[in-house]
Amino acid sequence: MDFGKSAELFRALGDPGRLKVLALLAAPPAEACAPAGRICACDLTEHLGLSQPTVSHHMKLLVAAGLVTATKRGRWTDYALAPGGLTQVQTLLADLQSASLGSVGTELDQPRPAEAS
């Protein structure tokens, strides 16, 4: 298990707004803008009560974490749950719990610059 990568994934889930996005995407409300099963970025600001750049920032993180997909549609961007994204998280948890981790002692990546100083 790559603790560094896993930690990144959990950190992506560590914001209430981002959790709300995922919940919305799991059961997308019918909106006029987006095709069925997706949510248009233009609707997310109201759902989240945050400014447009903030929403964009959060979505960027979710996409980078592999939890969400973004599809451009002209001016619009539609977001959807990435297939297998949350399942990957569940797998990480299962692995963590079963400790099927091989040589645990050497698996801690050092992704932090501060540790290099």
Partner DNA sequence: TAGTTAGATAGATATGAATCTATCTATGCG
Partner DNA sequence: CGCATAGATAGATTCATATCTATCTAACTA
Binding site for DNA (CB under 7 A): 11, 14-15, 17, 40-42, 50-61, 70, 72, 74-77, 112-115, 117
Which residues in the 15-74 window bind its own copies by CB under 8 A? 15-20, 22-24, 26-27, 47-49
- 3-class secondary structure for the chain? CCHHHHHHHHHHCCCHHHHHHHHHHHCCCCCCCCCCCCEEHHHHHHHHCCCHHHHHHHHHHHHHCCCEEEEEECCEEEEEECCCHHHHHHHHHHHHHHCCCCCHHHCCCCCCHHHHC
CB of 113 to DNA, least distance (A): 5
- Angstrom distance (rounded) from CA 98 to CA 70: 33
List the single partner that 64 binds among DNA, its own copies, none, CB under 5 to 8 Å by kind: none
Nearer to its own copies, 38 or 72 (CB): 38
Binding site for its own copies (CB under 8 A): 1, 3-4, 6-8, 10-11, 13-20, 22-24, 26-27, 47-49, 86-87, 89-90, 93-94, 96-99, 101, 104-105, 107-109, 111
